[in-house]
Amino acid sequence: MNYDAQYKEYLTAIEGYLDGLFTADKPYGRLYESIRYSLLAGGKRIRPVLTLEFARLGGIDWHLALPFACALELVHNYSLIHDDLPCMDNDDLRRGKPTNHKVYGETLAVLAGDALQPEAFRLMAEAPGLSAETKLEAVRVLSHACGADGMVGGQVLDTLCRVNTREGLQELNRLKTGVMISAAADLGCVAAGMSGEQRAQARQYADNLGLAFQIRDDMLDVMGDEAVFGKPIGSDREEGKITYVDLLGLDGCEAEVEATTKRGCDAIAPWQGSEFLLELARRMVARDK
């Protein structure tokens, strides 16, 4: 199966799984409506796709990893809802649509994010066809990635600390963005019962993919098309944030994206059947949104 067909198959499964969540008729149904507004707003779904592909490479039926993949997507979307709030980045657009708090108000947006995080861990704990040990390790991986020493720590650096060095920026982005991408790859390995060495190689691939992703994101914030990018261009600069473009320039960023992508690909190049992951990395280099 070629790359596009495989990606489409993963995407169809992910969207179908997510669409089945938060559908019950409840007296607090507007909470579900708010959650689904953000959760089903599209996006590339790179993180859950990584989980499913690594599970497939590990030799299991990748459908078994869907609860892990979609749990991570719930956490990712909770972070986006909160990230857009006035007390954080104060963004009006996300994926070309009004942000959650612009549609549902700040109170419900906060509560939608609050609900998505524990619901993610419920999905993992109830994942059928996987052992209790596997589910426990998956919970450990995701909780570490999104907790105080992961995504939340990165958000603190981003919003409350003035980061103005390359080393500081790399740590900020590793925590805020990179650890969730690494967790996505690791979760697929966990579902498949891969060895510690294989998991380390998967994380090395994903760490570099996450860094390349963030550098490319900073480039698009300067030179992207707002209609394609789905959020305002130049917002980081308006907020006074230091980005990779400020430190390296566009040409330097381009070179760094290429070098980082190569390091990631080299980590899993020996794996049999890694062509999908190599192509995914190459396409991330050239993305425009």
* Cα–Cα dist 278/274, whole Å: 6
Mean pLDDT confidence for 36-55: 96
Is residue 147 very low, low, confident or very high in pLDDT (cuts 50, 70, 90)? very high
pLDDT, residue 288, reads 76
pLDDT given for residue 26 in this prediction: 97
pTM: 0.93
Could you say which DSSP state residue 41 is in? S
**Pairwise CA distance, residues 41 & 103, whole Å:** 13
Q: Please say if the pLDDT value at position 194 is more than 90.
A: yes
At residue 179, does pLDDT exceed 80?
yes
Q: By the 8 A CB rule, do 21 and 39 touch?
A: yes
Q: What is the pLDDT of residue 224?
A: 65
For residue 137, give the amino acid letter.
Answer: E
CATH of domain 3-285: 1.10.600.10
Q: Is residue 236 pLDDT above 90, yes or no?
A: no
Mean pLDDT of 171-187: 95
Q: Per-residue pLDDT tens for 109-144?
A: 999 999 999 999 999 999 999 999 999 999 999 999
Residue 208 is predicted with a pLDDT of 95
Tell me what pLDDT residue 223 has: 83
Query: 233 in helix, strand or coil?
Result: coil
- Element housing 260 (H / E): helix 244-268
Q: How much is the pLDDT for 95?
A: 87
pLDDT above 60: residue 176? yes
pLDDT digits (tens, 9 = 90+) for 240-269: 778 999 999 999 999 999 999 999 999 998
Residue 70 contacts residue 18 (beta carbons within 8 Å): yes
Statement: residue 91 has pLDDT above 90: yes
Cα–Cα separations (whole angstroms), residue 146 to 131, 141, 154, 191: 23, 9, 9, 19
In the structure, what pLDDT confidence band is assigned to residue 221 with cuts at 50, 70 and 90? confident
Six token digits for residue 186: 């690791």
Task: Please state the domain extents for the chain.
Answer: 3-285
Mean pLDDT over the full length of the chain:
93
Instruction: Write out the DSSP string of 86-100.
Output: TTTT--SEETTEE-H
